[in-house]
Amino acid sequence: MWQAISHQLSEVLGRQFKINEREAILGGDVNQCYCVGDGEQRFFIKLNDKDQLTVFETEAESLRILNEANCVQVPQHFHLGTCRDKSFLILNYLPTKTIDDESGYKLGQQLAQLHLWGDQVEFGFDFDNYIGLTPQPNKWRRRWDKFFAEQRIEWQLQLCEEKGLHFGDIDTITANVAQRLSNHQPKPSLLHGDLWHGNTALTVLGPIIFDPATYWGDRECDVAMTELFGGFPASFYEGYQSVYPLDEGYQDRKDLYNLYHILNHCNLFGGEYMGQAQHIIAKLLLEE
């Protein structure tokens, strides 16, 4: 496998690339990750089964679009390939450390600039992609309430049902989600889509975000997820607000938006997240 990766990298670089250093990078729940080098250049490699190539294809395209926006640093895509029973995505490698107060403020500003970038008028994306290993539908819709209710909450609830995880009548919950958002029609923003602290870091070039689940949606979805698992300094929100202040009502919507990620965790990791999802559904969707 490593010989095949070396050969493919050599073709991409136009010079011989022979791996003489390889280090496993821990922390990912989905892929095997490595830093490899030849003494001259280092790369970050994500590995998974061969049938997961589509996941890497959509990630590479999402990175390309985020790079095009040129608002916040994301990894540079070098190569996408397969060998034997594996698929892999090769990115540039940069040493990282945890975001601090100063870089948190800058990241908040850069995320706000990303959310202001572009002039899309609909919600969705040109292709379906993945959040983790869960398929994420992105059919274009004019109305945000319909998009989020149907392609985020209803979709995840259907996947849960297939795994025997029941939260109530799906049609009723979906209708309640749409109703809660019916008077909220935000400007479509290009989102990272999976913005928890584990998908951010600080490099010598400044803050970086990675592992995107990109689409055009309500910017509050990105901001809400930063609060779901914590880990972002207060300066991050100060930086964001200094560029693009949040709309009134964000505090009332953030748990609804985070329900999507909690349901996805039910699907990815099992029923230990069910209680949290049930609480949000009861509080936000089923109250009279």
Please give the Cα distance from 70 to 18 (Å, whole number): 32
Please give the Cα distance from 129 to 107 (Å, whole number): 24
Phi and psi for 120 in degrees, rounded to 5?
A: -65, 140
Residue-level pLDDT at 52: 93
- pLDDT of 11 strictly over 60: yes
What is the percent of the chain with per-residue pLDDT over 70, rounded to a whole number? 98
Q: Per-residue pLDDT averaged across 176-202, rounded? A: 96
Q: Per-residue pLDDT averaged across 206-229, rounded? A: 97
Residue 288 — pLDDT band, cuts 50, 70, 90? very low
Q: What is the pLDDT of residues 231-279, one digit of tens each?
A: 899 999 999 999 999 998 999 999 999 999 999 999 998 778 999 999 9
Compute CA distances 237 → 62, 100, 185, 246, whole Å: 24, 13, 22, 10
Q: Which of 179, 151, 175, 113 is nearest to 263 (CA)?
A: 151
Residue with more model confidence, 284 or 73: 73
- pLDDT of 61 strictly over 80: yes
Report domain extents, the chain.
1-92, 101-284
Q: What is the pLDDT of residues 73-109, one digit of tens each?
A: 999 999 999 998 999 999 999 999 999 999 999 999 9
Residue 284 — pLDDT band, cuts 50, 70, 90? confident
Q: For the chain, what is the mean pLDDT?
A: 94
Catalytic, 194? Answer: yes
Candidate CATH numbers 3.30.300.90, 3.30.200.20, 3.40.1390.10, 1.10.10.2160; the one for domain 1-92: 3.30.200.20
- pLDDT of 192 strictly over 80: yes
Ranking 14-28, 61-75, 155-169, 174-188 by mean pLDDT, the lowest is: 14-28
Please give the Cα distance from 33 to 30 (Å, whole number): 9
Per CATH, domain 101-284 is 3.90.1200.10: yes
Q: What count of other Cβ atoms lies within 10 Å of the Cβ of residue 179?
A: 12
Secondary structure letter of residue 186 according to DSSP: P
- pLDDT of 29 strictly over 90: no
- pLDDT of 283 strictly over 70: yes
Do 214 and 138 meet the contact criterion of CB atoms below 8 Å apart?
no
Show Cβ contacts of residue 248 under 8 Å, excluding neighbours closer than 6 positions: none
Catalytic residue among 100, 119, 128, 194: 194
Q: What is the pLDDT of residues 120-139, one digit of tens each?
A: 999 999 999 999 999 999 99
Phi and psi for 151 in degrees, rounded to 5?
A: -95, -5
Residue-level pLDDT at 231: 87
- pLDDT of 228 strictly over 50: yes
